[in-house]
Chain A
């Protein structure tokens, strides 16, 4: 059995409720109280797995999400820039409706094929796939068994899942859903990445699952 990667999207933030674009460090909200409950719920259900390491995006919401499990199990967080959220450039902090008005043509291009079209001044999915792949490569080199946690973001996780599944990276927004605190499990086998599950949320209470999430 090869190393198993646990991709966890961060818990609820104010942006994940309203759907505003939220990427880079200049725009770095923490979790809501419900978001912290999601992180606790994850730690409670998954603490008994044979954890080897935790790789975490440097953004506040990812660190706060990783914290309960890392504290319970005694893991040191390994912060990796490669796990950051997409940089939204000039769209940062804006609602999709506003972006559609102010940057109409770029917005339509991005919606249709975000692989090769970035938000104005932001990152293309091919760039994100490149930086996350380096983190996956590092993990594959260092660990041959057990479980490794990766706490990251909605766009970043969907892009790396596309890359590992062999889905065109330009389809990440249309083919995969990834609500807050959802968990996807991939085993790195000798025949490539084998997906056990995508976007599980059964570790959350019914109340937490019922909250709106973009």
Chain B
């Protein structure tokens, strides 16, 4: 038996629908986002969960809640799992950012590993803080199934870290729609990706909804 880490992106929010930058802005799930959380709980409740780690933001806590409530699991909140801090770009659309912070925006698009949004976080900073949570999980649990509920940037950066992909490529190589599940087994020779971007737990009408 080895340790399996399940990465779950939170469900739909108004920002995931419109594509505005939403990092530390603490918005709720939409009603459809809550349905996504319920669908996840329904399909995954039969897995023997060892622990659930969650970002402190409302959208991730609301996503973890149906599973944790139905199984009576206590959430372990970790700051390291928070979304990227967008600084002065929070709440703005890509078009607004492009016109107001053009050069920084171009640099960030080309390499978000070592460039940050104005006043926000670089990919390498996010990689450092999130890998501390992964380290804690590996140290604490040798075997079992651990759920990690986090965000689009943070999950993609953790996957880059585990797979050995340059962190500056996280936005260009990996898609991560809302409520997607990715599973990494901590195997003898390192992290083995079993599946990425699985959304088959969602009901049909949720699968076809537009969302970044």
Contact of B173 among A175, A177, A192, A199 (CB under 8 A): A192
B200 CB–A CB distance under 8 Å: yes
In chain B, positions 144-183 with a C-beta closer than 8 Å to chain A are: 163-166, 169, 172-175
Which residues of B sit under 8 angstroms from A189, Cβ to Cβ? 172
Among the stretches B17-25, B58-66, B96-104, B185-193, the one at the interface with A is: B185-193
Count class of interface residues, chain A? 20 to 34
Number of A-B contacts (CB under 8 A): 70
A94 CB–B CB distance under 8 Å: no
B194 CB–A CB distance under 8 Å: yes
A199 in contact with B194 (CB, 8 Å): yes
A175 in contact with B197 (CB, 8 Å): no
A14 CB–B CB distance under 8 Å: no
In chain A, positions 155-212 with a C-beta closer than 8 Å to chain B are: 164-168, 171, 174-177, 185, 187, 189, 191-202
B195 CB–A CB distance under 8 Å: yes
Instruction: State in angstroms the CA–CA spacing of A185 and B199 once bound together.
Output: 13
Instruction: State in angstroms the CA–CA spacing of A196 and B172 once bound together.
Output: 11
B132 CB–A CB distance under 8 Å: no
Whole-angstrom distance from the CB of B77 to the nearest CB of chain A? 29
Contact of A165 among B163, B192, B197, B198 (CB under 8 A): B163
Which residues of A sit under 8 angstroms from B174, Cβ to Cβ? 194-195
Contact of B163 among A175, A194, A199 (CB under 8 A): A175
B192 in contact with A174 (CB, 8 Å): yes
- Please report A residues at the B interface, Cβ cutoff 8 Å: 164-168, 171, 174-177, 185, 187, 189, 191-202
Give me 19 A-to-B residue pairs in the complex whose CB atoms sit less than 8 angstroms apart, sorted by A's number: A165-B163, A166-B166, A166-B169, A168-B164, A174-B189, A174-B190, A175-B191, A177-B185, A185-B197, A193-B173, A194-B175, A195-B196, A195-B197, A197-B195, A198-B195, A198-B196, A198-B197, A199-B195, A200-B198
Interface contacts beyond A165-B173, A176-B193, A192-B173: sample of 15 additional A-B pairs, CB < 8 Å, sorted by A: A174-B189, A177-B185, A185-B197, A191-B172, A192-B172, A193-B173, A194-B173, A197-B196, A198-B193, A198-B197, A199-B195, A200-B195, A200-B198, A200-B200, A202-B198
